[in-house]
């Protein structure tokens, strides 16, 4: 029996499928806390998470097991035991598991019981549910190891408490979502109150395709006090000290990172999501079209904060409809950010397409066809630069536009990633103001003003025809965004939205535009998930769809 325990928490950023790299990172973390009794890693750390159908590959399962056994062999040195997340194959079934590594071997394992199958999660597709189980014995202490979703309902923790658990160590792969920090703390507090046990919530950090994991790990004592709050958005390995007092384990107070406001967390998520997508996929940098508008300006600012100015290339591609203000604003923004900037006119290309298509279009009036040709020429130029020099094309459309199809396939939708994909237009304005007043933690960009005020205040326009404004064909963004929140995030009925005071004809039109634009969104590049229902993994609608709630 012991009355002291030292638990290390490894809030780290794995790379999907990089088993040797993740093993090396785990070894380094363990070596950094030699005095620890046990070190806890995040859910599925050895492979990265979520693996989707990749985890079904027998080769990945075997390589993961080999990597974990290699790490287990290290524990012969008498140093920290390890709790490592891994895929576990047993009797023909595949499980989401945590293995206890001690004395040179895999000493025990626990299997995830509650498999999430909603939103971005499809775990029932690939894993079997493990049985309800009791705690593991770690250095004489009975440790309950519920895995992520296992604490979202009371059953698993209740079973562990009833079978003698003294501390709960919870490895997580919990993606960021705006407002989720409070949800997590409330959930943790519920499990602590119900079980009477202290709880360690250890979360992954880093970007994985459209998901970004914020870390923000917590240690909450049995009296509901927060002993540790690790910072969001960065890797950190810490050693926590525990003492048994009156039969209850208590964690000594440590670091308590301040909580973030809504805009700060959204911006940080975009930065980390883009940084990891570019770096983990080994792109040298990004290139984007710099139009002089607010979306491209914010995208460029995020890119510089994520990658540094030397890895961002901005290209203005003016046409006869590009205003002098846009030319000046694009250049001014690029100069404030310190990025490489050039201007490539599309006029000759537009003329060439006009001549080429003139026999086909004879007798037809100019319409959105000619507008879309301009956008597609710009996409072609950016893709040519990407092919020739290697940077990934960063697209710049926001969620409001993507919702109603105010974007051109193979034009402004052309590219590899979109940091604004889950950001509504009104939040684009707010984030620009926030960035001008703050440098994000870990950001590589300059302090102070990076987006000229005129870019934020002028009426949004695609500038594909004379005197064009977004509100010529869309409701004002404050109205559009509010209706879209009702339709997309809340799945509200037509009558419910109208009852909030919105014009029935406007709601009907927005719903129609939302539904008929599904085919575009299926072809859109990935982008950082910010809200509760992003397009793609969260919200999966059919392309062919005759249903309309607004009749």
Q: Is residue 524 part of a domain?
A: no
Cβ–Cβ < 8 Å for 526, 209: yes
Per-residue pLDDT tens over the stretch 121-157: 899 999 999 999 999 999 999 999 999 999 999 999 9
Which one from 25, 43, 166, 432 is the annotated catalytic residue? 43
Task: Give yes or no for residue 421 having a pLDDT over 80.
Answer: yes
In this prediction, residue 378 carries a pLDDT of: 95
Terminal Cα-to-Cα distance of the chain (whole angstroms): 70
Q: Is 529 a known active-site residue?
A: no
- Residue after which a domain boundary falls, among 196, 226, 259: 259
For the beta carbon of residue 137, count every other beta carbon within 10 angstroms.
Answer: 14
Domain tally for the chain? 2
- Residue after which a domain boundary falls, among 259, 285, 315: 259
Name the 3-class secondary structure at 397.
coil
Q: Give the CATH number of the domain where residue 272 resides.
A: 3.40.50.620
- The pLDDT confidence band at residue 112, using thresholds 50, 70 and 90, is very high
Task: Give yes or no for residue 119 having a pLDDT over 90.
Answer: no
In the β-sheet with 141-144, what is the strand arrangement from edge to edge?
136-138, 141-144, 167-172, 199-203, 218-220, 226-229
- The pLDDT confidence band at residue 468, using thresholds 50, 70 and 90, is low
| 168 and 129 fall within a common domain | yes
Strand-pairing partners, residue 137, are 142
Name the 3-class secondary structure at 393.
strand
| 98 and 227 fall within a common domain | yes
Task: Give yes or no for residue 223 having a pLDDT over 90.
Answer: yes
- C-alpha neighbours within 13 Å on the C-beta side of residue 96: 32
| 381 and 433 fall within a common domain | yes
- The pLDDT confidence band at residue 472, using thresholds 50, 70 and 90, is confident
In this prediction, residue 474 carries a pLDDT of: 87
Q: Can you tell me the mean pLDDT for 326-346?
A: 96
| 222 and 238 fall within a common domain | yes
Residues annotated within the binding site for L-glutamine are 118, 174, 180
Q: Is residue 58 part of a domain?
A: yes
Per-residue pLDDT tens over the stretch 240-284: 999 999 999 999 999 999 999 999 999 999 999 999 999 999 999
- Residue after which a domain boundary falls, among 244, 259, 274: 259
| 245 and 268 fall within a common domain | no
Q: Is residue 132 part of a domain?
A: yes
| 237 and 268 fall within a common domain | no
Cα distances (Å, whole numbers) of residue 187 to 111, 128, 435, 539: 21, 24, 31, 24
| 104 and 137 fall within a common domain | yes
Q: Is residue 538 part of a domain?
A: no
Q: Is 112 a known active-site residue?
A: yes
Per-residue pLDDT tens over the stretch 43-93: 999 999 999 999 999 999 999 999 999 999 999 999 999 999 999 999 999
Which one from 25, 102, 112, 432 is the annotated catalytic residue? 112
The DSSP call for residue 55 is G
In whole angstroms, give the CA distance from residue 275 to residue 481: 28
Task: Give yes or no for residue 330 having a pLDDT over 70.
Answer: yes
In this prediction, residue 463 carries a pLDDT of: 64
Q: Is residue 493 part of a domain?
A: no
The boundaries of the domain holding residue 293 are 263-469
Residues annotated within the binding site for ATP are 289-296, 396
- The pLDDT confidence band at residue 462, using thresholds 50, 70 and 90, is low
In this prediction, residue 298 carries a pLDDT of: 98
- The pLDDT confidence band at residue 540, using thresholds 50, 70 and 90, is confident
| 97 and 57 fall within a common domain | yes
In whole angstroms, give the CA distance from residue 41 to residue 442: 23
| 174 and 304 fall within a common domain | no
| 221 and 99 fall within a common domain | yes
| 299 and 235 fall within a common domain | no
In this prediction, residue 123 carries a pLDDT of: 93
Q: Can you tell me the mean pLDDT for 458-473?
A: 72
Backbone angles phi, psi at 62, to 5 degrees: -65, -45
In this prediction, residue 362 carries a pLDDT of: 93
Per-residue pLDDT tens over the stretch 370-418: 999 999 999 999 999 999 999 999 999 999 999 999 999 999 999 999 9
| 371 and 434 fall within a common domain | yes
In this prediction, residue 475 carries a pLDDT of: 92
Q: Is residue 171 part of a domain?
A: yes
Q: Is residue 159 part of a domain?
A: yes
In this prediction, residue 461 carries a pLDDT of: 72
Element (H, E) at 279: helix 262-280
Q: Can you tell me the mean pLDDT for 292-312?
A: 97
Cβ–Cβ < 8 Å for 46, 7: no
Which one from 25, 102, 123, 148 is the annotated catalytic residue? 148
pTM: 0.94
Residues annotated within the binding site are 118, 174, 180, 289-296, 372, 396, 401, 520
Q: Can you tell me the mean pLDDT for 203-208?
A: 97
Q: Is residue 90 part of a domain?
A: yes
Q: Give the CATH number of the domain where residue 115 resides.
A: 3.60.110.10
In this prediction, residue 276 carries a pLDDT of: 98
């Amino acid at each position: 029996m012991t009355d002291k325990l030292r638990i290390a928490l490894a809030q780290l950023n794995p790379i999907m499928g990089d088993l040797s790299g993740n093993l090396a990172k785990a070894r380094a973390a363990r070596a950094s806390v030699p005095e620890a009794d046990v070190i806890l890693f995040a859910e599925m750390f050895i492979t990265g998470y979520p693996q989707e159908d990749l985890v079904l590959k027998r080769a990945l399962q075997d390589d993961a097991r080999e990597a974990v056994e290699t790490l287990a062999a290290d524990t012969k040195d008498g140093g920290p035991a390890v709790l490592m997340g891994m895929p576990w194959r047993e009797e023909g079934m595949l499980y989401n598991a945590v293995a206890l590594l001690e004395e040179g071997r895999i000493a025990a394992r626990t299997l995830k019981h509650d498999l999430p199958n909603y939103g971005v999660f499809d775990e029932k597709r690939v894993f079997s549910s493990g049985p309800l189980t009791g705690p593991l014995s770690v250095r004489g202490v009975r440790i309950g190891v519920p895995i992520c979703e296992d604490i979202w309902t009371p059953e698993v923790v209740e079973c562990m408490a009833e079978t003698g658990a003294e501390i709960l160590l919870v490895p997580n792969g919990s993606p960021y979502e705006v407002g989720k920090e409070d949800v997590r703390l409330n959930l943790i507090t519920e499990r602590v109150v119900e079980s009477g046990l202290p709880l360690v919530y250890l979360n992954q950090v880093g970007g994985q395709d459209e998901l970004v994991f914020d870390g923000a790990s917590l240690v909450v004592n049995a009296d509901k006090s927060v002993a540790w709050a690790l910072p969001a958005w960065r890797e950190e390995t810490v050693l926590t000290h525990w003492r048994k007092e009156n039969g209850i384990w208590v964690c000594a107070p440590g670091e308590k990172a301040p909580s973030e406001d809504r805009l700060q967390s959204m911006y940080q998520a975009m930065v980390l999501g883009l940084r990891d997508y570019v770096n983990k996929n080994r792109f040298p940098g990004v290139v984007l079209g710099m139009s002089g508008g607010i979306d491209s300006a914010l995208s460029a600012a995020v890119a510089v904060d994520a990658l540094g100015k030397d890895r961002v290339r901005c290209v203005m591609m003016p046409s006869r409809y590009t205003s002098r203000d846009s030319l000046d604003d694009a250049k001014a923004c690029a100069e404030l950010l310190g990025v490489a900037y050039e201007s490539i006119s599309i006029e000759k290309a537009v003329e060439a397409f006009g001549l080429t298509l003139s026999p086909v279009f004879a007798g037809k009036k100019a319409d959105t066809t000619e507008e879309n040709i301009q956008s597609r020429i710009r996409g072609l130029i950016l893709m040519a630069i990407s092919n020739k020099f290697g940077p990934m094309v960063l697209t710049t459309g926001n969620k409001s536009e993507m919702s109603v199809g105010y974007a051109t396939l193979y034009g402004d939708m052309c590219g590899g990633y979109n940091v604004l994909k889950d950001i509504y237009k009104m939040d684009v304005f707010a984030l620009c103001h926030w960035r001008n007043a703050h440098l994000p933690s870990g950001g590589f960009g300059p302090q102070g003003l990076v987006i000229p005020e005129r870019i934020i205040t002028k009426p949004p326009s695609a500038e594909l025809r004379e005197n064009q404004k977004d509100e010529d064909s869309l409701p004002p963004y404050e109205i559009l965004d509010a209706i879209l929140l009702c339709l997309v995030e809340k799945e509200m009925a037509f009558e419910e939205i109208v009852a909030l005071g919105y014009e029935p004809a406007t709601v009907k039109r927005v719903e129609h535009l939302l539904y008929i634009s599904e085919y575009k969104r299926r072809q859109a590049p990935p982008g950082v998930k910010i809200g509760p229902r992003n397009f793609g993994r969260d919200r999966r609608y059919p392309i062919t769809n005759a249903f309309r709630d607004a009749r």
